[in-house]
């Protein structure tokens, strides 16, 4: 997901990124209002993730010269998160900030475009991402609301809430 978002900045803001070799998993990406919406076919898994990445093109504290340094940097950056949960359709709230949901990517290479989020010239970059993620599966046809709430050490705004509105449409097109 990070590679897709870094190489196409802003493209998916407020909608869903198709992931995997055939785009069969959708990752809702929050827009400026912390919401995303998209349509999906029945059976489409939805991937919710939050965390950090460190690369060889960013300034400290998000700089890492090689894979090992990038991994350590991304893990350290995520000490900022103190709580996180996901709720599907006002159902049971699940704690995401646990080892069960923890993810660490291998080092990836990405081509950064001119308008990249790092504000650096277009170039090849490497990065490692760390965070927590959950797959939501088995949604029935109709409209669904999925909420991810993340609490950080930020004193000014300690809690951020991301809401995804997903419409499961039999025979419909996904990720618009």
Residue 41 pLDDT: 94
pLDDT above 70 for 69: yes
Q: E-assigned strands of the chain?
A: 16-19, 25-28, 35-40, 46-55, 81-88, 93-95, 102-104, 108-112, 123-136, 142-152, 159-168
**What is the rounded end-to-end Cα distance, in angstroms, of the chain?**
17
Q: Counting every residue, how long is the chain?
A: 176
Q: Residue 120 — pLDDT band, cuts 50, 70, 90?
A: very high
- Provide the 10 A C-beta neighbour count for residue 176: 11
Q: Residue 139 — pLDDT band, cuts 50, 70, 90?
A: very high
Q: Tell me the pTM.
A: 0.88
Q: What are the structural domain ranges in the chain?
A: 2-168
Query: Within 13 Å and on the Cβ side, how many CA atoms surround 176?
Result: 6
Residue 175 pLDDT: 55
pLDDT average, residue stretch 113-126: 94
User: Three-class SS of residue 44?
Assistant: coil
Q: Are 84 and 151 in contact (CB under 8 A)?
A: yes
pLDDT average, residue stretch 141-170: 95
Q: Calculate the average pLDDT of the chain.
A: 93
β-bridge mates for residue 46, sequence order: 26, 136
């Amino acid at each position: 997901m990070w590679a897709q978002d870094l190489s196409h900045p802003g493209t998916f803001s407020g909608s869903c990124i198709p992931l995997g070799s055939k785009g069969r998993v959708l990752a809702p990406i929050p827009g400026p209002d912390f919401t995303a919406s998209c349509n999906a076919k029945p059976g489409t898994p939805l991937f919710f993730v939050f965390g950090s990445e460190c690369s060889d093109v960013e300034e400290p504290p998000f700089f890492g010269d090689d894979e090992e340094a990038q991994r350590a940097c991304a893990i350290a950056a995520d000490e900022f998160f103190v709580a996180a949960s996901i709720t599907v359709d006002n159902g049971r709230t699940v704690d995401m900030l646990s080892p069960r949901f923890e993810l660490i990517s291998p080092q990836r290479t990405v081509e950064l475009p001119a308008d990249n989020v790092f504000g650096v010239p277009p170039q090849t970059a490497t990065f490692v991402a760390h965070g927590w993620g959950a797959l939501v599966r088995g949604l029935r046809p109709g409209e669904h609301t999925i909420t991810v709430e993340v609490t950080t050490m930020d004193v000014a705004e300690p809690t951020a809430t991301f809401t995804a509105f997903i419409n499961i449409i039999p025979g419909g097109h996904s990720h618009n």
